[in-house]
Amino acid sequence: MKIIVCVKQVPDAKDVRLDPKTNTLAREGVQSIMNPYDQYALEEAVLLKEQLGGEVTVLSMGPPQAVDVLRQAISLGADHGVLVSDRAFAGADTWATSYTLAKAIHKIGDFDLILCGKQAIDGDTAQVGPGLAIQLDIPFVTCIQKVREASESELVLERMMDDGYDVVAVSLPVLLTVVKDLNIPRIPSLKGKMKAKKAEFKILSAEDIGADSACIGLAGSPTQVVSVFPPPPRGERAVLTGTVEEQIEQLVEKIAVYL
Amino acid sequence: MDYFLSEEQSMIVEIAKQITDERIIPQRAELDRKDEFPRDILNSMAQADLFGVPIPEEYGGFGGGCLDIVLALEQLGRGCIGVGTAFAASALGVYPIIISGSEELKEKYLPPVAAGKKFAAFGLTEANAGSDASGIQTTAVLDGEEWVLNGTKQWITNGGEAQIYTVVAITDRKKGPRGASMFVVEEGDAGFSCGPKEKKMGIRASSTTELIFKDCRIPKDRIIGRAGTGFVTVMKTLDSSRPGIAALGLGIGQACLDESTTYAKQRVQFGKPIISFQAVQHILADMAIQLEASRALVYSAAKHIDAHPKDMSKVSSMCKVMATDMAMKVSIDAVQVMGGYGYMREYPVEKMMRDAKILQIYEGTNQVQRNVIGQELNKEYSRR
Amino acid sequence: MLIVDSELCIGCGVCEESCAFGAIEVIDGCAVVGDACTLCGACVENCEVEALQIEGAEKSVQADLDSWRGVWVYCEFRAGTLAPVSLELLGAGRKLADARGVHLSAVLIGAGTGDTAQRLIGHGADIVYQVDDPALAYFTDEAYGAVLIDLIKKHKPEIVLAGATAIGRSFIPGVANSLGAGLTADCTHLDIRLDDGALLQTRPAFGGNIMATIVCLSSRPQMSTVRPKVMQAMEFDAARQGKIVNVTPDPVLLQTKVRVLESVVFEQDDVNIQESDILVAGGRGMDNAKGFELIRELADSIDAAVAASRAVVDAGWIGYPHQVGQTGKTVAPKLYIACGISGAIQHVAGMQSSETIVAINRDENAPIFDVADFGIVGDMYKIIPMLISKIEGHRKS
């Protein structure tokens, strides 16, 4: 089975803060990590490879330093990594991103299955996975919480819904986006880390993938950010006083409107 | 401090650190409370290739040296030395095969242990043979094509959980220490069983049981090395494994320093964080000094052992004594810095203090280690 | 891309300060653009010497922008139930439609929708496109998407809103991508710019640490998914008039490659935490699964749903659908009571837009208190039972 996993390098959210004075993201000490949802996608790809044979290619779009997440993916069991990177991609929204990834996948070649995290934790849009499927003209199923059965031709899956889950069957090729419940990502192995250290990655430019310049970056993006600002501050915490019992009494009064 | 580790050594540290932070630390309190063997955690260590570190490359391992295993165990010990002990005991269980085993035994038993598919255990101690190994009562008698083992081993780490056991038995009582031999016993061998799990003060995640041999019959070729070489193998095994125990001590020391320093920065008394009081600062400073001095000795000893495998007894004993005495002291100090909170089960240093004690006892008490060091000094100075 | 004219740049650093993404740095007296640049243009606006400009392929503008008229709301109907967010969106859509002077239409897709269309009219819709077909009994991205795309192409609405629910966040991105339309996910605020009819869509990003306002100028429709519980539904008015348009979908649209074998809907006590007005959330501080039972007791006593931190879900005390935070759900109930939750940023990201936040924790330094409106420090096992009995006392009086 040929599996492509789309991964994104994101800033670790625990480090991200907006400086209210300058309106800028504090950049000191912000670590870059593989988007957490993508880690579940990668793990599932490696599990499927172990079960059915085949190979796993990880694909990322981002600045040159995003090869770090490809390297990490190799240490976790992926076989190959491809980065699409070009300054011309800057300003891409989810439409332009899915177009670009689809072009890159055409360049990579055949596939049976594409796995994506449900969403990236920096954008939280959950749009690139479905958009990519549309661009590739294949079906997609989002929020997969369990792979019940897998064969070379068909998958039986549980997709998470707000009030339960649906069990669906789909033949390949298909694109899936995954949620956290799917698996527990492994810890990189020593062999994997050694392989990752030596791994080399294909870096594709806009020209390499034959992208139409009107469809990438800012020009290819229907949406545009007009302003960025910090969320309205929450009010000061009300002080409850006295013994714990007295505090609870005051609390019940304060929240009585909701009860 | 920067110890200028190689790239591969840094990888081992990263992997063991990730397992410790993501798998061991979130589970350690529950494993401790339930006396539960950490099979899932050991499986994730297996998947990460850690079990292969001490096994030679030709048998599916990484052929790592003493320092490599020390680095891994230090990280694991920072999380839980109960888990660390279960891991270390598997390595201890196959050292006799690595050191003295036949090619056939190596080919049969080392690859599954390197892959973490099977766990091993080491059976030496008995009711009347602890620090004094010459008191061993378990016997092995050759009967045609089979050895017949009888006797009971006590306090065997990984008992009941391991699939491969290397045990010491007397094959010729008249020869004293030269009459002992080592054998491989497998889970499921007729006449071999494990006793119930012991209830311990600490390292409760590790399993400790008796190994019971009642006319246990094993094939003749399961002997490790020649008959009568058992004690030599045991001594070399323990010499090799002691720095690993020292490393667990480093891990606990680091964890105690981390916990108590973090606490001291947060805990406010008399209007200030308690770390601003010299009385507290001095305790923390002493902890840090002892920890770093121990680490320097353990790493140096491990490098010495890797470079001079025939001259390991003294340095191996020295680093075990220093790092494990440090671990006990530092864990007591950590509880003291944290006061009442430190004594409560909801904070981890209570468990660390209970756990630390075993380090001064098992794999040769620290008193016996000092004997070894003393005897080695006596020998050295006689040669001058 | 962003071009710096090094002749004009005076190295004043205004651009560096105005960049929300930390993508510009002044090096040796001249601005240098890094890879983090998203071409948002904030620096260009702020540059007093006009040394910065964004260059690249011109964005092509759809020719017939003005022919797209009307505000649409996709009203989610699953297993016989209308998702409450649909009514909230009609409330928001009504305001937008009135501001634009256009109709508000609802799109209802499903099977056995009964009098739902009439309800939608009572809650503000002028027109309901009702697509009721047994083949649409189960949600699939393909069929629902194809039906909606077909309707949008025929009727050309300028704005399409949908709930940011599991279903909305799944098939709407496919619809938008097929149409080449701009889509903004998880909006918490919507507004109309009167001069050009641009929908100003505001949403949190980076786990709620920053807010971004997004527009879609060059194409129609403008599409948004909107979080449940942030918009206000209108009171039902039986006197409201509207038109129900029954749509019979082309059978080709209903063909799917994905087959739904079974749809499992959880029991009542596992309600969707995103739709709940009150959430009681438990964390690692509840010590163990047994301690976590206290959370359920408190929730039961105030008709709340139970939520949890990641640690608790990972420990198996409660299922993943209850997880709030970065790798779980984002919630915004009226009241959020966090018990034994330390308040790591990953958790706070999922609940900080709750109206009122109560934190109960034994650690007075827990960061959860930083976002709480009310906080009590102490032993969970004493406080929660006492809280339950005080609430019961309050209710009786």
Q: Say how many CB pairs under 8 Å bridge B and C.
A: 6
With a cut of 70, which residues of chain A have pLDDT below it?
A: 13-29
Q: What is the mean pLDDT of residues B22-33?
A: 94
Q: Among A43, A66, A96, A49, which residue's Cα sits nearest to residue A214?
A: A96
The pLDDT tens digits of the residues spanning C323-373 come to 998 888 889 899 999 999 998 888 888 898 888 999 999 888 888 998 899
Domain residue spans in chain B?
Answer: 7-114, 120-228, 231-379
Q: Which chains touch A (3 or more CB pairs under 8 A)?
A: B, C
User: Which chain B residue shows the shortest CA-CA distance from C310?
Assistant: B26
Distance CA B266, CA B60 (A): 47
Distance from CA of C368 to the nearest CA of B (A): 16
Q: Is B104 a catalytic residue?
A: no
The reply to whether ipTM tops 0.95 is: no
Distance CA B310, CA B91 (A): 20
C263 is a domain residue: no
Find the domain containing C239 and state its range.
Answer: 65-254
Distance CA A66, CA A43 (A): 19
User: Residue C221, preceding bond cis, omega within 30 degrees?
Assistant: yes
Q: What is the mean pLDDT of residues C145-174?
A: 96
What's C307's domain CATH number? 3.40.50.1220
Q: Which CATH architecture has domain B7-114?
A: Orthogonal Bundle (1.10)
Are C280 and C362 in the same domain? yes
If interface means Cβ-Cβ distance under 8 Å, which residues of chain B face chain C? 26, 30, 266, 346
- The phi-psi region of residue A141 (left if phi > 0; otherwise alpha if psi is between -120 and 50; otherwise beta) is beta
User: Which chain B residue shows the shortest CA-CA distance from C362?
Assistant: B346
Are C284 and C375 in the same domain? yes
A169 contacts in chain C (CB < 8 Å): 258-259, 261
Residue C20 has pLDDT above 80, yes or no: no
Kindly tell me the sign of the dihedral angle through the C-alpha atoms of C383, C332, C329, B25: negative
Decide if C365 and B266 are in contact by the 8 Å CB cutoff.
Answer: yes
H or E element: which one contains B151?
strand B146-157
User: CB–CB of B8/A194 below 8 Å?
Assistant: yes
Distance CA A24, CA C21 (A): 6
C262 is a domain residue: no
Place of tokens 């320097």: B296
CA atoms within 13 A on the CB side of B17: 8
Decide if C346 and A122 are in contact by the 8 Å CB cutoff.
Answer: no
Judge whether B7-114 and B120-228 match in fold.
no
Mean pLDDT rounded to a whole number for chain B: 95
Decide if B26 and C365 are in contact by the 8 Å CB cutoff.
Answer: no
Residue C379 has pLDDT above 70, yes or no: yes
Domain residue spans in chain A?
Answer: 2-224
Give the DSSP per-residue string, B340-364. Answer: HHHHSTTSTHHHHHHHHHHHTTSSS
Q: What is the mean pLDDT of residues B91-119?
A: 96
Among the partner residues C183, C217, C386, nearest to A224 by beta-carbon distance: C217
B22 contacts in chain A (CB < 8 Å): 187
What is each CA distance from A252 to A64, A257, C358, C388, C396, in whole angstroms?
A: 54, 9, 11, 10, 13
Decide if A193 and B52 are in contact by the 8 Å CB cutoff.
Answer: no
User: Quick one: pLDDT at residue C41?
Assistant: 76
Distance CA C385, CA C380 (A): 8
If interface means Cβ-Cβ distance under 8 Å, which residues of chain A face chain B? 186-191, 193-194, 197
When divided into structural domains, chain C yields a total of 3
Set B30, B145, B363, B380: catalytic member: B363
Q: Which CATH superfamily is domain A2-224 in?
A: HUPs (3.40.50.620)
Tell me the longest C-alpha to C-alpha distance in chain B: 79
C256 contacts in chain A (CB < 8 Å): 139
Q: Residue window 88-127, chain A: list those with CB within 8 Å of chain C.
A: 88, 90-91, 93-95, 98, 121-127
Are C230 and C276 in the same domain? no
**Window from A101-105, C22-26, C282-286, C309-313 with minimum mean pLDDT:** C22-26
Decide if A127 and C176 are in contact by the 8 Å CB cutoff.
Answer: yes
Distance from CA of A199 to the nearest CA of C (A): 23
What is the pTM for the complete model shown?
0.87
Distance from CA of A225 to the nearest CA of B (A): 37
Mean pLDDT rounded to a whole number for chain C: 90
C80 touches chain A (CB under 8 A): no
Are C212 and C93 in the same domain? yes
Q: How confident is the model at residue C35 (pLDDT cuts 50, 70, 90)?
A: confident
Among the partner residues A188, A194, A197, nearest to B48 by beta-carbon distance: A188
The pair of three-digit structure tokens given for residue A142, joined into one six-digit string: 């989002």
Distance CA B41, CA B376 (A): 39
Distance CA A163, CA C319 (A): 12
C214 is a domain residue: yes
What is each CA distance from C27 to A90, A176, B356, C41, in whole angstroms?
A: 21, 44, 53, 20
C193 touches chain A (CB under 8 A): no
The pLDDT tens digits of the residues spanning A48-107 come to 999 999 999 999 999 899 999 999 999 999 999 999 999 889 888 999 999 999 999 999
Mapped onto helix, strand or coil, the DSSP state of residue B171 is coil
Q: What is the mean pLDDT of residues C133-160?
A: 96
**C-alpha angle with apex A13: A7 to A16, nearest 5 degrees?**
125
Q: Which residues contact C98 (CB under 8 A, 6 or more apart)?
A: none
Are C29 and C70 in the same domain? no
Which of A189, A191, A195 to mutate to probe the B interface, most B CBs <10 Å? Answer: A189
Q: Among B62, B65, B51, B68, which residue's Cα sits nearest to residue B117?
A: B51
Residue C172 has pLDDT above 90, yes or no: yes
User: Which chain B residue shows the shortest CA-CA distance from A76?
Assistant: B48
**Window from B192-196, C66-70, C153-157 with minimum mean pLDDT:** C66-70
Backbone angles phi, psi at B201, to 5 degrees: -65, -45
Residue B200 has pLDDT above 80, yes or no: yes
More confident residue, A232 or B378: B378
A142 contacts in chain C (CB < 8 Å): 141, 166, 169-170
B12 touches chain A (CB under 8 A): yes
The pLDDT tens digits of the residues spanning B242-288 come to 999 999 999 999 999 999 999 999 888 999 999 999 999 999 999 99
Decide if A135 and C177 are in contact by the 8 Å CB cutoff.
Answer: yes
Place of tokens 């190689």: B6
Are C182 and C314 in the same domain? no
- The phi-psi region of residue B160 (left if phi > 0; otherwise alpha if psi is between -120 and 50; otherwise beta) is left
C59 is a domain residue: no
Q: Which fold has domain B120-228?
A: Butyryl-CoA Dehydrogenase, subunit A; domain 2 (2.40.110)
Name the residue type at position B155: W
Would you report the helix, strand and coil content of chain B in percent, each value rounded to 5? Answer: 60, 15, 25
Are C96 and C237 in the same domain? yes
Are C70 and C209 in the same domain? yes
User: Quick one: pLDDT at residue A22?
Assistant: 56
What's C209's domain CATH number? 3.40.50.620
User: Quick one: pLDDT at residue C156?
Assistant: 96
Q: What is the mean pLDDT of residues C292-303?
A: 91
Q: How confident is the model at residue B210 (pLDDT cuts 50, 70, 90)?
A: very high
Are C388 and C287 in the same domain? yes
Name the residue type at position B330: V
Q: Residue window 97-136, chain C: list those with CB within 8 Å of chain A.
A: none
Q: A34: which strand partners?
A: A9
Q: Which CATH superfamily is domain B231-379 in?
A: Butyryl-CoA Dehydrogenase, subunit A, domain 3 (1.20.140.10)
* Residues in chain A, overall count: 259
User: CB–CB of B41/B21 below 8 Å?
Assistant: no
